[in-house]
Each structure stands twice: as structure tokens, then as C-alpha cells.
Amino acid sequence: MIFEAFRKEFIDQVCFTTNHVYAWYPAFDKNNLGRWVKKGYLVKLRNNLYTFSELKSLNNIHFYLANRIYRPSYLSLHTALAFHGLIPESIVQTISVSTMKTTRFQNELGSFSYKKVKNELFFGYTHLDFTQDKTFMIAQPEKALLDFFYLYPFYNTEREITGLRMDEEILSELIQINRLQELLSQFKNKALEKRIKLFRKCYQI
């Protein structure tokens, strides 16, 4: 198998599974994938999932791949908060929520972490453009906040919450209180409601 023929077939997909490969060419020798990884042509993202090394520099490639490494999932927590400009820290791993079990994947592109939420809490995300015909799923600012305080309940004092150093100006611009309260009501969680009330007091929103 000549790599250029393979590349031409799959490059536009950004990432692909071995099932995609066999559907295209049933006689494909899987050993080719290992050789192409060693040569630096491909990156192995997880078992049976690959992307092309030349795509690593694409803007937001980590976000797009995070949605596909573990499905269903959407970007949230620190990753979404940083993306929306709400927290100042640079994020060293790409963090998502999923209805599947909590897990993490490490590959050449970095660390991809997934936190479990109940099926009924898998909402509040939007699709943003990655390429002309592809999107990635990321929590809306309000849902990213709710996911954060839901999954990290130890942020429950003024000191801990103000220690997050969220940008108050961006908070006031981005966070729609009506939407925040509407999404919060779907959690049906009194403890979370108390933390959000304290959060709003700390940041005066």
C-alpha cells in the first residue's frame, strides 16, 4: 500500500478508524498503520483511531479530536471556561464530559480527559466550526460553569471561588442569568444551587 494513495482517501476526514480503512479496502494490511506511525506520517490517538501528523498544527485540532476520541462527549470544565475567556490559566489537558465512564487518553497530541455525567445532564453544548464542513461540540459558557461546580463540589466557599480568578468583565458580558438559571434547574441539585448562588455573589453577576 502506497501512503500517498491512503492519504488522498482519508486526509479530509481528519481522523479515521481501522473500520473505515477496511470498509474502503478490505485487504488492507493493518501493519501499515504501525509503520506509518513510526515514520511520523500518522498519530495513534487511541486503539484503532488515527490522525495525520501534518494536521497537528490546525487551529482547534485538539477540540475536534477530543469529541471523537471518546464518544459521546463535549468540551467543558477548564477547557471550555478557558476557551470562553472566563479563566486565565493555560490548560495543559483537553477536558470533556461524557455519559461514559471517567477516563483519560494520552497520545502525541497531549492529554485528553473525560468526566462522567448522567445522561440527563448531557445538554447545554453548541457546535462551533472547525473546518468548512466539520464542527466540534463545546459547552455554552453557562453550562461550562454548571458542569464545573457540579463535578468539583469542593469549590463551596468564597475563598475557593474567588481563587478561580474568573474575569468579571467577560462574565458579565457572556453569562446570561436567565439561561444560567434555566440550565441550573435541570440539574435538580440543591447543593449546586447554593454554590451557584455563592458564585454569583462573589462575582456580582
Phi-psi region of 110 (alpha: psi -120 to 50; beta: other; left: phi over 0): left
Which residues, 6+ apart, have CB-to-CB distance to 28 below 8 Å? 1, 21, 22
Name the pTM for this structure. Answer: 0.94
SS3 58: coil
pLDDT tens profile 100-150: 999 999 999 999 999 999 999 999 999 999 999 999 999 999 999 999 999
pLDDT tens profile 139-192: 999 999 999 999 999 999 999 999 999 999 999 999 999 999 999 999 999 999
Distance between CA atoms of 185 and 16, rounded to whole angstroms? 38
Angstrom CA distances, 152 to 123, 157, 158, stand at: 18, 12, 15
Domain boundaries, the chain: 3-55, 61-203
Give the pLDDT band of residue 92 (cuts 50, 70, 90): confident
Distance between CA atoms of 205 and 203, rounded to whole angstroms? 6
Number of CB atoms found within 10 A of residue 76's CB: 29
